[in-house]
């Protein structure tokens, strides 16, 4: 049975996690059900994170070190979902500081994995989010990217008008959304110059590759 190497902090399903984690460790590439249960305990729907999630990060790091693609992708994806909740009320600030080197190593692993050419689109997007979370941008990592028909609402930086950004099959533009007339005063999006972007936005642009959904993120990250 796996034992926590770090003390308990705050709230968390500490007692429920070890047996499920043990199943994952025994068969990280094949026990899909164990992975689902572990994700449910540590990062339910990617929105809630318990202190136990941060205690599990060293184990996920060790699985990612194994080099088996299926296990690596699952471990990095779950680690990113956990780290994305770093600013939530998890009661584990001391624990987060203690595992900071682990998070830094996970970030390097995710970056290398994103550079591989064998990722399925869903996996690439999951790791793209994980990379943002481990880089300290939990807000961007939790954004609802939908590149078939995605609509995002932002404030104009000049007049505070609510502007709709469309990215996908429906179009790629900015507009004012009118209740009766739909999207009016449409303007086509311009691709951002990576040299003009801030650190996190450069990460997003740098992770983009031709033919993949993340490429389009840089256009609205400006």
At 101-138, the pLDDT tens digits run 999 999 999 999 988 877 888 888 889 889 989 988 87
Question: pLDDT tens, 56-115?
Answer: 999 999 999 988 999 999 999 999 999 998 887 777 888 889 999 999 999 999 999 988
CA distance 70 to 138: 24
pLDDT band at 214 (very low <50, low <70, confident <90, very high): very low
Output the six-digit token pair for 8: 């308990």
SS3 content of the chain, % helix, strand, coil (to 5): 50, 15, 35
Nearest CA to 59 out of 91, 36, 82 is that of 82
Output the six-digit token pair for 38: 């572990």
- Taking the CA atoms of 92, 96, 73 and 19 in sequence, report the sign of the dihedral they define: negative
Kindly report each contact of residues 22-29 with a partner whose C-beta sits within 8 Å and lies 24 or more positions away, as own/partner.
24/63, 25/59, 25/63, 28/63, 28/66, 28/68, 28/70, 28/71, 28/74, 28/75, 29/68, 29/70, 29/71
**What is the Cα Rg of the chain in Å?**
19
Res 165 pLDDT > 90: no
CB 7 within 8 A of CB 98: no
- pLDDT in the model for residue 60: 96
| 141 vs 185, higher pLDDT | 185
- pLDDT in the model for residue 139: 74
Helix (H, G, I), strand (E, B) or coil at 186: strand
């Amino acid at each position: 049975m796996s034992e926590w190497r770090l003390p308990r902090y705050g709230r968390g399903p500490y007692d429920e996690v070890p047996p499920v984690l043990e199943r994952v460790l025994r068969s990280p590439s094949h026990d899909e059900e164990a992975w689902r249960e572990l994700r449910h305990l540590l990062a339910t729907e990617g929105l809630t994170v318990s202190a136990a999630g941060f205690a599990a990060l060293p184990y996920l790091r060790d699985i990612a070190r194994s080099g088996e693609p299926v296990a690596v992708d699952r471990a990095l994806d779950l680690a990113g979902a956990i780290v994305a909740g770093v600013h939530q009320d998890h009661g584990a600030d001391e624990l987060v500081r203690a595992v900071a080197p682990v998070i830094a190593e996970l970030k390097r692993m995710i970056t290398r994995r994103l550079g591989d050419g064998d990722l399925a689109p869903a996996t690439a997007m999951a790791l793209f989010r994980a990379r943002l979370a481990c880089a300290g941008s939990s807000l961007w990592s939790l954004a609802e990217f939908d590149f078939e028909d995605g609509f995002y609402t932002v404030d104009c930086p000049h007049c505070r008008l609510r502007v709709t950004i469309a990215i996908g099959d429906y179009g790629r533009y900015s507009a004012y959304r009118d209740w009766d007339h739909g999207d009016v005063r449409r303007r086509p999006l311009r691709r951002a110059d990576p040299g003009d972007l801030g650190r996190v936005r450069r990460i997003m642009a740098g992770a983009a590759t031709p033919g993949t959904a993340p490429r389009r993120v840089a256009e609205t990250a400006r």
